[in-house]
Amino acid sequence: MSATLELAQALIARPSVTPEDAGCLGLIAERLVPLGFVLERIDANGVSNLWARRGAARPLVCLAGHTDVVPPGPLDKWKSDPFVPTICDGRLYGRGAADMKSSLAAFVVAVERFVAASPTHKGSIALLLTSDEEGDATDGTVSVVETLKTRGEAIDCCIVGEPTSFNRFGDMIKNGRRGSLSAKLTVKGIQGHVAYPERVRNPVHQAAPALAELAATRWDAGNEYFPPTSFQISNIRGGTGATNVVPGELEVLFNFRFSTASTMEGLQSRVHEILDRHGLEYAIQWTLGGRPFLTPRGALVDAVVDAIHAVTGVTPELSTSGGTSDGRFIADICPEVVEFGPLNATIHKIDECVDVADLEPLTAAYQGILQRLLG
C-alpha cells in the first residue's frame, strides 16, 4: 500500500463533517513535526485551523486545504459506509476521498519526500489547513489569513488541493476563480384585494420589467481567462397563497458570478441605477462571497503545468470555472494562487471516490512543484 493511500484512508475514516475536524489535523501534525515544521493552531469559534511552517526564508510556498467534508446524505444509498474507506474496482470510496482528503494525504507525503531529498532547500514550506471550507467559511482560512496579515507574514505562492481534474487526472488546473456577489431584493407594494386594483400597488407587476432588464444586461465581456459575468435569479417569493390578494412585497434573491473585468462596486451601482430608473420602492441587502482572483502565467503556473506534464504527459488547461474556494481568501496575502487536485466527478455525491492509480501521480506532481519552486 502506498503511503499516500494509507494516509488518505486514515483521514477518510475520521467523520469530519463541517465544521468538525475529528482529529484530522492532529494526524497530519504528527507527520509534520519530525520534518521540522513549527505548528500553530489558530482555532476560532469551534473551527480547527492549523498553520505549519518549515523555515523562515522567502519564498514561502504554501499548500492549502480543508479537512472538513459535506454531510454524507442518506447512508443506505452508499455502496459502503462513507466513513469506512473502501477500495473497490480500483477506486477508493468514502466521503472526502476526492474533496479533499486525498490531496491532503498527497501534500504530506510529497513534503516528506521533498524534505528527505532536499533537506536544505531554499525558502520555506507552509501548510494552511482548516475545518471550515465546506460550511460558512467565516472562521477558517479567513482567520488564519487575518492572523498572518496582522503580523506581516506574506505567502509567495500557494497550491490549493481542490479537485480540479475534469475528464482525466491532470487535465485542468484553476488559476483563478470568479467572484460571488449575492443580493436579497425586497420590492415594496401595497397589499389589497385583486378586485380593487386602484387601491393596491402590485410589486410583482412593478418589478417584472426591471428584473427582465437585469437578466438581459451584458455586464462585461470577460477577458482572456474569464467568461462574461453572469447574473442569475435563484428565488422569487411573494403573495399570501391566496389567489385574490395582491402581495404587499416581493422578495428576489439573485447572484453575480463576476470576473476581473467587473468590480463589486460597479455591479452594485448598475443594479441600483436600473431599479431606480424603473421607479421601484425597494430595499436591497448585499453579500460578498468573495472577490475574483487571477494568477496569470508565471513562476507558479509554469511550475504546476510542468510538474503535471512530467508525471502524466498531460498539459493541463488553465481554467477559472466552477464555484468558489478558499483561494479567494489566500489571494489577499498571496500574489500567486493555483488550485490542483484529483478528478472532481464525484465530489459532494453519493459514493464519492478517487482512482487509487491517481494517488501516486498526485503526490509526485506536488513534490515536483515544490522541487521547481524551492529545489
**Active-site annotation, residues:** 68, 133
User: If DSSP codes are grouped into helix, strand and coil, which group holds residue 54?
Assistant: strand
User: If DSSP codes are grouped into helix, strand and coil, which group holds residue 359?
Assistant: helix
Asked if 229 contacts 256 with a C-beta cutoff of 8 angstroms, the reply is: yes
What whole-number distance in Å separates Cα of residue 250 and Cα of residue 248? 7
What whole-number distance in Å separates Cα of residue 12 and Cα of residue 105? 10
What whole-number distance in Å separates Cα of residue 314 and Cα of residue 64? 23
Asked if 346 contacts 98 with a C-beta cutoff of 8 angstroms, the reply is: yes
* Partners of 114 in the β-ladder: none
Q: Nearest to residue 256, comparing CAs of 224, 214, 295, 298?
A: 214
What whole-number distance in Å separates Cα of residue 253 and Cα of residue 149? 33
Neighbours of 287 (CB within 10 A): 10
- Between CA 164 and CA 58, with CA 100 as vertex, the angle to 5 degrees is 80
* Partners of 129 in the β-ladder: 50, 65
What are the cell numbers at 240?
Answer: 399570501
